[in-house]
Amino acid sequence: MTGTITVGAVDDDRMLLDGLRLWLADVPGVHLAATAPTVDDLLTPAAPAAPGPPHMDVVLLDLLLRDGSSPADNIRRLRAAGPRVLVISTVADRGRIVAATAAGADGYLTKDHDLPTLVDALTDIVAGGTAHCPELAFAWAYDDTPARPALSPKERQVLVEYASGLTLKATARRLGISPHTAKYYLDRVKDKYQQAGRPTYTKTDLAVRVREDGWGAD
């Protein structure tokens, strides 16, 4: 890990926030820049003349806050403000995990994980990856949400490889199939997303779908 990862945390459990400060205080390369009980408090200055929130690479977001805010709305607001989002929760509910990731969360950890796991997750997310606990992998494997099209194993392989930046020819070579066959699978993927009401016209669109739907989370 190079540089310092600046972290924010949103949780209405003061004991957890105090523990998090102690946890991260001695971790090289990780700085806890701000904590708050709600997303509003994290993003909105306390005084009118105060500067905006500090720079944060990743925000640790409790899934269920006592202010009744929507987890999906909280994730979207944080992502719109710039930081990436790692959801932390006591809840390992499949539907909530899927919804959180579809809303833009870059990972999901239950609160029973240890400090090294958390630091590894932060490092992976800042590097452009995702962080997922076994519960997340299970949730994606058994997700049957209509908006997430059912892709065959080969369709999924073509999607992930092509969306990662490879050309169609390079994708075919890596998977041991012909470019014609790779194009067939890719066209099927696009058609399935079209039918699900989530059209994918460009490679960038496909890369977004990979992240939204957790196709790389195996």
The verdict on residue 147 lying in a domain is: no
The model's pTM is: 0.66
Same domain? 199 vs 137: no
Question: How many structural domains does the chain have?
Answer: 2
Nearest Cα to Cα of residue 156 among 210, 115, 197, 199: 210
The verdict on residue 87 lying in a domain is: yes
The CA-CA-CA angle for residues 209, 7, 107, to 5°, reads 30
Per-residue pLDDT tens digits for 54-66: 899 999 999 999 9
Same domain? 19 vs 126: yes
Domain stop point among 121, 141, 161: 141
Q: Residue 197: which domain range?
A: 153-213
Domain stop point among 120, 141, 162: 141
Q: Look up the CATH number of the domain holding residue 126.
A: 3.40.50.2300
Taking CA atoms, 185 is separated from 84, 109, 152, 180, in Å, by 31, 33, 9, 9
Nearest Cα to Cα of residue 154 among 173, 177, 136, 135: 177
pLDDT of residue 48: 60
Same domain? 14 vs 47: yes
Kindly give the parts of the chain with pLDDT less than 70.
Answer: 1-2, 45-51, 133-147, 216-218
Per-residue pLDDT tens digits for 133-145: 666 666 655 666 6
Same domain? 64 vs 41: yes
pLDDT of residue 216: 65
